[in-house]
Amino acid sequence: MLVLGVFFVASGVGKVVDVPGFIEVLKAYGLSGGLVPFLALVVPPAEVLLGLALLTGHASRGIGLLCLLLLIGFTAAFAYAYFGKGVTDCGCFGALEALKTQPMVSFGRNAVLMLLSLRLVVRPVQPGPILHVLQRSSWWLVCALTCAAFTLSGISYASGKLRWGPAPSDVGKSYQNLPIANFAPVGPGSQLVVAFEPNCNSCWNAMENILAFARLGAVEGITGVATGNEEELAEFRRKFNATFPVQLITHELLHEVVGEFPAVWLVRNGRVEREFRKLVPSPYSLNLAPSPAATPSTKPAAPPSGATAESR
């Protein structure tokens, strides 16, 4: 009970605070469509519920069966992603980076956890007097924490990875020292570096402003790093008439480097001058482009009030 409970609480909490990251994991597993956000919102709080139930002594046959089914589903999906697509991070613990393990270790751990779950299905724990009291007095706590997990999951889905304290900024840093520089090198002068997904709604919303930086002369060029495949990128280029160079890398790798999309760095002479995440303002609002010139009026001037028809 203790081992399974700790695993599911840690796994659920790590995903709850980074639902966008879990969405990327599910996409890397090969899932798509409306099922992806549904699973990303429901599965992490469900893991928290199962873990709390186990830690408070609710080790029934039904709880064990749910744990077993979840572990079988996770393991099968990761096996498909690992052997079929080369994905090496199972994403089991979401934002809890310190708990990441190598693929074979993840498979071995899941096998042990499945055996423990099967043990609960075959021989549920019979509560003694102390455990029985704990079960009866802890349901309100389990329900309250599960509701909190669902709430945080929704907030994380809407606003991106939850952070404790302000997000670290790259402004003022040497661009060459940033991880993104390994995939999008820049030259002298001013460049806009964009990390995005071709099918990301937030990226679509920001793309007109991103392209405006080059069109209006706020930067000398744009370079991009994206996930997806050549077909998705080609469709993206047609949609936005985007011609800047793009380096394609895996969902897993770009999410590890960036965290959320789109991510944009304005680099001038090798240093990050500005940085934007998810929302990218217009270069006009940043005073990086000249204001649009007023269009001269073509309407002829009115004649003087005293002019006659002949003089006109």
Would you kindly state where each structural domain of the chain is located, as residue ranges?
2-159, 175-277
pLDDT of residue 135: 60
pLDDT of residue 162: 58
Lateral strand order in the sheet of 271-277: 246-248, 221-226, 190-196, 263-268, 271-277
Bridge partners of 275, per DSSP, are 265
pLDDT of residue 149: 85
pLDDT of residue 134: 58
Of 205, 173, 172, 17, the residue nearest 93 (C-alpha): 17
Q: What is the largest CA-CA distance in the chain?
A: 113
pLDDT of residue 126: 66
pLDDT of residue 223: 96
pLDDT of residue 165: 47
Q: Does 3.10.450.630 match the CATH number of domain 175-277?
A: no
pLDDT in tens, the chain (312 residues): 789 989 999 999 989 988 887 887 887 787 877 888 899 889 999 999 898 888 887 767 888 899 999 999 999 999 998 898 777 878 888 888 788 888 899 999 999 999 999 998 888 776 555 555 556 667 777 788 888 888 888 887 776 655 544 556 889 999 999 989 999 999 889 999 999 999 888 889 899 999 999 999 999 999 999 988 899 999 999 999 999 999 999 877 887 788 778 999 999 999 999 999 888 999 988 888 765 554 344 444 444 444 444 443
pLDDT of residue 285: 86
pLDDT of residue 159: 64
With 0-12 / 13-18 / 19 or more C-beta atoms within 10 angstroms meaning exposed / middle / buried, residue 239 is exposed
Q: Residue 2: CB partners within 8 Å, gap ≥ 6?
A: 54, 55
